[in-house]
Amino acid sequence: MGQTLAEKIFSRACGRPVKQGDIVYPDPDLITTHDWYVVNFDKVLQELGLNRLHAPHKLLISTDHEPVATSPLAAQRQRQVREIVRKYGIEHFYDVGRGGHGHIFPMEKGFIRPGMFVIAYDIHVTNYGALGCMGIPVVTEISEVLACGNVWMKVPHTVRVNLVGQLRPGITIRDVAQKLISVINVDDADYSAFEFGGPGLASIDFSGRQVLCNTPIEIGAKTAFIEPDQQTLDYLANRTNEPVELIKSDTDAIYHSVIEFDLGLVEPQVAMPPTPDNVVGVSKVAGKKIQHAFIGSCAAPGISDLAIAASILKGRRIHPDVRFFLTPSTYEVMSEATALGYMQIFVDAGVSITAPGCGVCAGGKIGTMADGEVSINTGTRNDFGRLGAMKSDIYLASAATVAASAIAGEISDPRLYLLDAKNVQDAQ
């Protein structure tokens, strides 16, 4: 019997053949955490009487949740992180100004390749799946991984999603991802590995692939990844000198379920509070007044998100009642957006641009909302209090829908601002 891609990656990490449902201790190729947890794991290790890491060369730390210290306490925490990095001899430390969002820039810098097994503190490490890498979040158990080298886990079953058809003009992969998690059976998704493939995958760019891998975690999936293809090779061609293997599931692999999803049937989607899978078509909430908008986070990771937003905002101003924040995911993305003229468009439109990283999505450390306000944004979650005030409402949508809504001052269909498919294509 053949293996799924998930089983193959777990088998490689375990040094022996494994199958779904097995309890294993996989050896990670890379371990990642961000600025908010570094002080905590150091405290745990001290309590255990440990003054070393099991494999410091495998650890990558990024300053992305709070790259701009907004209080003396935050500045002190940043200083502690730098001291901890020096204490343990951590080589891969990407401080303010060096990388950006920790779920994105490691791919830009060649740390991530197909078939790798990565353990992370943060759940949205599944973005690495865009390159056929297995990103597994373990949250607080990361201290055990850092101390001992691994931690037990169960090999997940696999849900195969075959993408067919083509996106219609004005529709984005974020719309696809939100629609997908709203229709998938939660029992199927629970502790699953989502494997995306099918003929429709070829038309989805690298940014979109990250979005596909980012979203299933919100309905209980353990991980998600793309079946590696030629686009994977093209992306990595100038980013790594390591060998790249396009590993795939065997033709006789056993899936928990197989879903065929037609890209051509998707309309603009909006997730209503308080959960990301509370999804409706944009027409159901159109006209809802907003005071806050945001484009950024690991759910809007790449240049294509900025491109379509810029195409809508060009020559327009945001509504006077709206505060609009934009956070480029990485310094590479910001540089490319600047070269293409997008950043000037945002400035001219009245958008506030923040340092690359998580941005507003990181618990409302910047761009905080007040009671009674409504936000539409590209963040990962919309639970009450996510962006500050508990009595505020957060709607999640594509960068296109966010940009259109910021202009109108109310939730709006982005297709009203996109004249035709060529306009969208030219912006991308």
The CA-based dihedral angle spanning residues 370, 374, 380, 385, taken in that order and rounded to the nearest 10 degrees: 40
Residue range 336-349: average pLDDT? 98
Closest CA to 331 of 133, 6, 64: 64
Strand partners, 292: 323, 375
Closest CA to 88 of 122, 58, 130, 120: 58
Percent of the chain with pLDDT over 70: 98
Q: What DSSP letter does each residue of 47-84 carry, written as one string?
A: HTT--S-S-GGGEEEE--SSSS--SHHHHHHHHHHHHH
Answer whether residue 424 shows pLDDT above 80.
no
Residue range 25-42: average pLDDT? 96
pTM over 0.85? The answer is yes
pLDDT at position 421 is 37
Instruction: Give the separation between CA 188 and CA 196, rounded to whole angstroms.
Output: 15
pLDDT at position 426 is 53
Instruction: Give the separation between CA 353 and CA 359, rounded to whole angstroms.
Output: 10
The CA-based dihedral angle spanning residues 87, 362, 365, 143, taken in that order and rounded to the nearest 10 degrees: -30
pLDDT, tens only, 177-191: 999 999 998 888 999
Answer whether residue 333 shows pLDDT above 60.
yes
**H/E segment holding residue 89:** none
Residue range 345-352: average pLDDT? 98
pLDDT at position 205 is 96
pLDDT at position 46 is 94
Averaged pLDDT of the chain: 95
Least confident of 68-72, 214-218, 300-304: 68-72
Domains of the chain, each with CATH number or no CATH: 5-263 (3.30.499.10), 269-427 (3.30.499.10)
pLDDT at position 13 is 98
CB of 53 closer than 8 Å to CB of 84: no
Instruction: Give the separation between CA 350 and CA 353, rounded to whole angstroms.
Output: 9
pLDDT, tens only, 99-144: 999 999 999 999 999 999 999 999 999 999 999 999 999 988 999 9
pLDDT, tens only, 253-287: 999 999 999 999 999 999 999 999 999 999 999 99
**pLDDT tier, 427 (very low <50, low <70, confident <90, very high otherwise):** very low
pLDDT at position 186 is 85
At 298, phi and psi to the nearest 5? -75, -5
At 195, phi and psi to the nearest 5? -115, 115
What does the DSSP 8-state code read for residue 120?
E
Residue range 147-173: average pLDDT? 96
User: What is the b/e burial string over 295-329, where b = at least 16 CB atoms within 10 angstroms of the residue's CB?
Assistant: bbbbbbbbbbbbbbbbbbbbebebbeebbbbbbbb
Residue range 353-374: average pLDDT? 92
